[in-house]
Amino acid sequence: MNRNSKENRLLQIVDILKKSNKMTTRELADTLHVSIMTIRRDLEILRKNHIVERKYGSATLESNLNEYKAGDEFYDLRRALITHVKEKERIASYAATLIEPNDFIFMDNGTTVARIIPFLPRNFPFTVLTYNSTIMFELLKYTNIKVIFPGGYYYPEDQMFISPQAVDFIRCHRASKAFISVSGIHPSLGITCINAHSVQPKQAIIDSSVQRIILTDATKFGVVKDNHFANFNDIHIIITDEGISEEWVSFLKKEKIKLVTV
């Protein structure tokens, strides 16, 4: 089965569970006309991404992830976690190779940034500051990583803690690298995100890091979201997939941004 059909099936499972709340493995297999083993593999992927809970042969959606309206559109973190997965994993895998011994790293919110975690080095020490709760809890499993969490008020729509005091705390630190997520990159309107509460922490990690690195799949190019947080001269490297157009390759070269496609 190809990647797109698998991805579509995962999205279908999420949509089915939104409506039915709880379904057995057999019910999902019958509904989607696939084998029970296929559904079990799909549910395991969803469980590892903290999208579903599995109990006694049934599945329910995690209760802490909800669809919400951002501007004129609806955003669903569950769907974002399982779209363009292969591209995001290649991007994240490459980003992890940039980490060096004793680095101080900022890790932004975002489903692509979060995918760095399985690829992180385990054989030397470094420090990570993050304001995403899921990233923080996963990082605590690594004995070689010192974790810094600024705290603040919780935003469940993107699993983020932030406050004005937390932004000041971030600005008190200096990082060798910042891994940054985006929702849109536009040639004239710059670099944008969905949530207004993300703007100040993103700007803080940009202002406080030596190397600013965007991780994004190619679908974000040419897109504009509500909240501007950076211009092209704020960014040093963009890591993306091979879906990026030649027009964008030329544009980023003119902007003197190093482009890595994986």
pLDDT in tens, 213-246: 999 999 999 999 999 999 999 999 999 999 999 9
Q: What percent of the chain has pLDDT over 70?
A: 93
Predicted TM-score (pTM) of the model is: 0.79
pLDDT recorded at residue 259: 98
Maximum Cα–Cα distance across the chain: 56
pLDDT higher at 50 or 127: 127
For residue 163, pLDDT beyond 90: yes
**C-alpha 30 chain-centroid distance:** 32
What are the start-end ranges of the H helices in 103-211? 111-114, 133-139, 164-171, 199-207
pLDDT in tens, 71-104: 556 667 677 677 778 899 999 999 999 999 999 9
For residue 2, pLDDT beyond 70: no
Burial of 236 (0-12, 13-18, 19+ CB in 10 A): middle
d(CA 113, CA 259): 17
